[in-house]
């Protein structure tokens, strides 16, 4: 469990969870926010609220570019607040414009193993429109290769080789954040 006085070390800076679809951002975000006493938001949920329909329908009716525009809009809104844990959608790293918002906070890459991601996606195959292809596993691996350089720009990387409970993962994420804070991130937090 993260102690409240420990959480103050963040000085209210937002935590942005990035990583591939099914890496566990939305699930972990709820747990991490609760332990930190931060508010939790999920950019996908906000996009669905703005659009008035589920993401698969939005992709089908309006296309990916329209989704990406809404994704940037909700991210911009969120970046004007503090003390938030924000679970982003897996493709948010693709737009340079989005990094101007992500860099305001601390970016945390949930680097889940490909096999773990695939097993999770098999349980819920229809939720990710971008995987509705003849060979979704090959599509997933192509996305991983394309996006890895973007995810690697995160302030903090947490490797997730196998299933781990949300509370245990929250503890691992917090330890990784503490280590990074000790190294100093002058552009994010006041170091004086
Ligand atoms: N720590 C975890 N332990 C067990 N199942 C998890 C964990 N994290 C995520 N999952 C499951 O994996 C799937 C994808 O998780 P989700 O949080 O939606 O990932 P993302 O937001 O990165 O796409 C969901 O079915 C979720 O229930
Ligand atoms: O990887 C992606 O491009 C996407 C990931 C999804 O979010 P999750 O990462 O929460 O699944 C959602 O934003 C949309 O389907 C696009
Ligand atoms: Mg999610």
pTM, 2 dp: 0.97
User: Under 8 Å CB-to-CB from 137, ≥6 apart: which residues?
Assistant: 118
pLDDT at 1: 81
Please name the fold of domain 4-182. Answer: Rossmann fold (3.40.50)
Is the CB of 87 within 6 Å of ligand 1? yes
The CA 187 to ligand 1 mean position distance, Å, reads 31
What does the pLDDT read at residue 15?
Answer: 98
d(CA 173, CA 156) in angstroms, rounded, equals 8
Would you state the pLDDT for residue 154? 98
For the chain, what are the domain ranges?
A: 4-182
In a 10 Å sphere around its CB, with 0-12 CB exposed, 13-18 middle and 19+ buried, how is residue 165 labelled? exposed
For this complex, say whether ipTM is above 0.95. yes
Residues of the chain falling short of pLDDT 50: none
Q: Is 68 known to sit in a ligand binding site?
A: yes
In this prediction, residue 192 carries a pLDDT of: 58
Closest ligand to residue 129's CA: 2
Say if ligand 2 is within 6 A of residue 129 CB: yes
Give which of 105, 84, 119, 90 is closest to 155, Cα–Cα.
Answer: 105
Query: Quick one: DSSP state of residue 142?
Result: H
> What gap in Å lies between CA 40 and CA 85, rounded to an integer?
5
Q: What is the pLDDT of residue 5?
A: 80
Contact 91, 129 (CB under 8 A): no
Q: Encode pLDDT of 139-186 as tens digits.
A: 999 999 999 999 999 999 999 999 999 999 999 999 999 999 998 876
């Amino acid at each position: 469990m993260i102690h409240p006085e420990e959480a103050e070390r963040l000085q209210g800076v937002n935590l942005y969870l990035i990583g591939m679809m099914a890496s566990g951002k939305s699930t972990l975000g709820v747990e991490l926010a609760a332990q930190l006493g931060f508010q939790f938001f999920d950019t996908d949920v906000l996009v669905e609220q703005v659009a008035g329909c589920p993401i698969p329908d939005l992709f089908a009716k309006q296309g990916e570019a329209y989704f990406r525009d809404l994704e940037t809009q909700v991210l911009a809104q969120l970046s004007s607040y503090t003390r938030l844990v924000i679970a982003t959608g897996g493709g948010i790293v693709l737009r340079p414009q989005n990094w101007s918002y992500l860099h305001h906070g601390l970016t945390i890459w949930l680097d889940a193993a490909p096999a773990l991601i695939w097993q999770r996606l098999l349980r819920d195959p229809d939720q990710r429109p971008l995987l509705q292809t003849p060979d979704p596993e090959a599509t997933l691996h192509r996305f991983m290769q394309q996006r890895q350089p973007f995810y690697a720009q995160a302030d903090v990387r947490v490797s997730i080789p196998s299933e781990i409970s949300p509370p245990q993962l929250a503890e691992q994420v917090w330890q990784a954040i503490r280590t990074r804070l000790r190294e100093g991130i002058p552009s994010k937090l006041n170091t004086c």
